[in-house]
Amino acid sequence: MTIRTHSLKIDTSKNFEIIDITSQINELIDIDEGIISIFSKHSTSSIVVNENESGLLNDLEFMLTNLVSDEFSYMHDRIDNNASSHLKSFLLSSSECLPIKNSKIDLGTWQSVFFIELDGPRRNRTVTLTMVGE
């Protein structure tokens, strides 16, 4: 059994941004079979798996904006004014654990892995990849 770790650095350019990181991750996979943990080391971003269709990605932003309204005042805003970004991150996930087959993530036909920026723009967002397998 082999354990491999890599870091992916991501610069974002908007406050809310969805970035397809599937191919970047696949390039870093250096085992044949196993599992990969994809973990964002930030509490105002997320890692999710879904379909890369532009209308759907706009719908995700629409849904999150409506679920976590900027019209309310949140307690965390007294500290650093980004409560809505944290709250959207609570609704999503900070990591995904996925199967690896033939040195690629074994995704379904319509699935991609996304990094979701919820409090950008930011430089050097860090996503940790941990692979276990052989």
- Site residues (CB under 5 A) for Zn ion? 80, 82
Can you tell me whether residue 66 is helix, strand or coil?
helix
Of 7, 8, 13, which Cα lies nearest the Cα of 123? 13
Minimum CB separation of residue 10 from Zn ion in Å reads 19
Measured from the CB atom, is 83 or 105 closer to Zn ion? Answer: 83
Going across the sheet that includes 34-40, the strands are 2-10, 125-133, 34-40, 95-101, 104-105
Measured from the CB atom, is 22 or 82 closer to Zn ion? Answer: 82
Minimum CB separation of residue 125 from Zn ion in Å reads 15
CA distance 60 to 92: 11
Angle at Cα 9 formed by Cα 128 and Cα 20, nearest 5°?
Answer: 85
Encoding tokens for residue 29?
A: 């996979």
Minimum CB separation of residue 118 from Zn ion in Å reads 11
- The structure tokens 């980004």 sit at 82
Q: How far is C-alpha 110 from the chain's CA centre?
A: 17
Measured from the CB atom, is 44 or 112 closer to Zn ion? Answer: 44
Minimum CB separation of residue 121 from Zn ion in Å reads 16
Measured from the CB atom, is 24 or 82 closer to Zn ion? Answer: 82
